Amino acid sequence: MIMVYEIKLSEDDIAYYNKRSINKLFAILGIFEECEESGDMSPFHSYLDRLIIEFRGVKDIFDICTFVSIVAILDGLRKEEQLNHKEVKSIVFHCISLVKKGTDEK
């Protein structure tokens, strides 16, 4: 059990959240592709902002190194001016691997 905002979460709850987190991270790639096609990156930046806020709010689920890495990477991705599909894909899969590995270490 882990306490997050005075709520007890079981291992199953955490595993479910991690799966959802991976799905949210993977969605970055699709959103980037759509924004790149339309020429409007604002939905991409908004989505990254929301993910950063969410991950900051659930820092107790991830170990500290994983938490810092994911938030820093997403923030850096948000601030990067010239992104291409290959870079975004690499970053997304790196973040997914951090979630998978980081929660195993907790």
Phi, psi angle pair for 58, to nearest 5°: -115, 30
Read off the pTM.
Answer: 0.83
Strand segments, DSSP code E, in the chain are 2-4, 7-9
Q: Tens-digit pLDDT profile for the chain (106 aa)?
A: 666 667 787 778 878 888 999 999 999 999 999 999 999 999 999 999 999 998 887 776 667 788 889 999 999 999 988 899 999 999 999 999 998 886 555 4
Q: What pLDDT does 5 receive?
A: 61
pLDDT of residue 85: 94
Cα separation of 85 and 65, whole Å? Answer: 26
